Structure 1
Amino acid sequence: MLVSGKVVVITGASQGIGRACAQEFAKYGATGLVLHYLGDPRSEEDVQSLKKELETDGRKVATVPGDISDPSTSQKIVAVARETFGRIDVLVSNAGICPFAEFLTMPLETYHKTRAVNLDGSFYVTQAVANLMKEQNPQGGSIIAIASISALVGGALQTHYTPTKAGVLSLMQSCAIALGKYNIRANSVLPGTIATDINKAHLSDPQIHNSNVSRTVLGRLGAPDDIAGPVVFLASDLAKYVTGASLLVDGGAFVNLQ
C-alpha cells in the first residue's frame, strides 16, 4: 500500500488521466480524496460516478467544482480538504486543455484560455496547497504536476499549448527549490500521446493516429493508467528523495529519432 492513509487532491479528476490517478491512489491505499472537476453537467455526472466507485473500505471522497483558471477555485479546494480531512499529503495538478489550432489564424482567446487553465491554474493550486502543506512541516507533502512531452518538443498545432507545459515543468523545478525547506517535494510527469477525451477528435483521423503510434517504440498509444502508476510512485515514500525531477512517460516516442 504505497500511499496508505494519505489524503490526495487531484484537479481535473472527472475523466482521463485525473480519473485514472484517483483510481490508482485508491488502489494503493489513499484514505481521502479531494476530486476537482469543471462543474458542467457531464463532469458532474462523471465525478459523482467516480465518487461512488471509490467510497469503499472506509475511504472518504470530497468533490469540488470550478474553473481552475479562477484563483478562488484553488482556495475552495484547500478549504474543502482542510474541513474534511485536516490536511493534504499529495497534490496532482492535472487539469488542462489542448484545443488544437493553427498558429497564424489562432484567435487570441484560444491562447489566453489555454494559458489560463494550464499554467495559471497550476500555479494557483500549487501555491494554495503548498501553504497548507507548509503548516504540516515536518510532514510536508508531495506535489506532482502533469506537464507533457510537449514541454520538450514543438507541435505545429500546439504553439499555444507547448509553452504552457514547458511552464508547468519549470514551475515544478522552481517549487522544488522554494518548498524543499518545508519538506515538500515537487515533480512533474510528462506524458506522451495518451488517448483521452482531450485529443479524441484529433486522433480520430487515422493518419494522425497511426503517425502517433509509429513514433513510439512500444507500438501503441498510452492509456490514462500508464500515467497514474508513475504519479503514485512520485507521491509515495519510494520517491522520498526525488524532487525537482521530470519523468517522461511516452512509450519511447522522445528517443525514437531514427
Structure 2
Amino acid sequence: MTYDFSGKVALITGASGGIGRATALAFAGAGASVVVSDVNVAGGEETVGLIESAGGKAIFQACDVADADAVKALVKRAVDTYGRLDFGHNNAGVTHMAADEWDEAVWNRSVSINLDGVMHCMREEAAAMLANGGGAMVNTASINGFTGNAVQPGYVATKHGVIGLTRHGALKWARSNIRVNAVCPGVIETPMTDSVASSPEMRKVMEAMTPMGRMGQPEEVAHAVLWLCSDQASFVTGHPLVIDGGATVS
C-alpha cells in the first residue's frame, strides 16, 4: 500500500533508530515533511541525513519527552518550520532489566518517559492539530500493555497506561477530527532489543517467543503507523493495534 502525504507534516519522537527511524523514513518516503526528535543527537541527525539523501524533507530537534517545556518547544519548532502539524508518532520510550526490579530510579524513569512523555506529546500535538483542523496521533505501547511480565514492573505499568491515554485521547478529540491510536509491538529487532539478543542463544529464545518464529522488523511497525494516520483508517480511533507475530494469540 502506498500513501500520499504531500503537504503534510509528521513529528516522530524516539527517531534516532529502530521503529522511530523506520517511521520517519516511511513518512518522508510518502511525501511528508518530517520532524525527527530524540535525546540521541547523533542518531537523530543520521535519520535526517537518510531522509535528505533519499530526496525527502526533515529537521532534527533534540528533546527529552519527560520535560514538558522541551516538548512544547519541539511542537512549536515543527509549526514554525513547516506551518502545521498533521501527524504525531509518540514513540520515545525506555525499557529496563534492572537487578533490582523495584528500584525507585528505574520506576521513576519509566514513568517520566513512557507515560508522562506520551501525555506531554499528546497535549502539545493536539493544540497544534486543532489549529489546522485535525490530525492523527499514534502512540507506541507494547504487547506488555495487555499482558504482564515478571521482571519489568515499570515498563508493564506504563505501557498499560499508554493504552489508557490513547483511549482517553480518542474520546476527547473524537469530534475535533483528531484520531488517536496505538501500536503494540511484540519482539521487534531494534537497538532496544539488540543488547538482549546479542548472543545467538538469546536470539533463539527471542525468536521462539512468537509463533512465526522470528523477530519483527521496525518497518513492519512503521507500515501500521502510516496506515493508522492515513485516510484508509478514517473510522479507526482508540484502537491498540497488536503487531507481534502471534505472540498474544497463543
Aligned AA (2:81):
T
Question: Is the aligned partner of 1:142 residue 2:136?
Answer: yes
In 1, Cα distance between the equivalents of 2:42 and 2:4?
A: 27
Look up the match of 2:113: 117
Q: Is the 8 A contact 1:16 1:196 kept in 2?
A: yes
Question: Is the aligned partner of 1:44 residue 2:41?
Answer: yes
Alignment of 1:47-196 (within 5 A): 47-55=44-52, 59-102=56-99, 106-137=102-133, 140-196=134-190
Q: 1:34: how far off?
A: 0.6
Q: 1:248: how far off?
A: 0.3
Aligned AA (1:225):
E
Q: 1:206: how far off?
A: 4.4
Task: Assess, with a 3 A threshold, how the Cα gap between structure 1 residues 151 and 57 changes in structure 2: closer, same or farther.
Answer: closer
In 2, Cα distance between the equivalents of 1:98 and 1:16?
A: 14
Q: Is the 8 A contact 1:102 1:156 kept in 2?
A: no
State percent identity of aligned pairs.
Answer: 34
Q: Is the 8 A contact 2:36 2:47 kept in 1?
A: no
Aligned AA (1:75):
K
Look up the match of 1:234: 228
Aligned length, in residue pairs: 248
Q: Is the 8 A contact 2:179 2:237 kept in 1?
A: yes
Task: Assess, with a 3 A threshold, how the Cα gap between structure 1 residues 59 and 255 changes in structure 2: closer, same or farther.
Answer: same
Look up the match of 2:239: 245
The CA RMSD over aligned residues, in Å, is: 1.6
Q: Is the 8 A contact 2:29 2:56 kept in 1?
A: no
Task: Assess, with a 3 A threshold, how the Cα gap between structure 1 residues 221 and 57 changes in structure 2: closer, same or farther.
Answer: closer
What does the per-residue CA deviation read over 1:11-39, in whole Å, with 9 as the maximum and x for residues that have no partner? 01111110010111122222x1111110x
Aligned AA (2:11):
V
Q: 1:216: how far off?
A: 1.3
In 2, Cα distance between the equivalents of 1:24 and 1:57?
A: 11
Task: Assess, with a 3 A threshold, how the Cα gap between structure 1 residues 157 and 203 changes in structure 2: closer, same or farther.
Answer: farther
Q: Is the 8 A contact 1:98 1:199 kept in 2?
A: no
Helix, strand or coil: the match of 1:194?
coil
What does the per-residue CA deviation read over 1:77-118, in whole Å, with 9 as the maximum and x for residues that have no partner? 111011111111100000000011256x53201100111000
TM-score by length of 1: 0.91
Q: 1:207: how far off?
A: 4.5
Q: 1:58: how far off?
A: 6.2
In 2, Cα distance between the equivalents of 1:48 and 1:214?
A: 34
Q: Is the 8 A contact 1:2 1:237 kept in 2?
A: no
Helix, strand or coil: the match of 1:203?
coil
Task: Assess, with a 3 A threshold, how the Cα gap between structure 1 residues 206 and 158 changes in structure 2: closer, same or farther.
Answer: farther
* Match 1:209 to one of 181, 199, 203: 203
Q: Is the 8 A contact 2:183 2:242 kept in 1?
A: yes
Helix, strand or coil: the match of 1:187?
strand
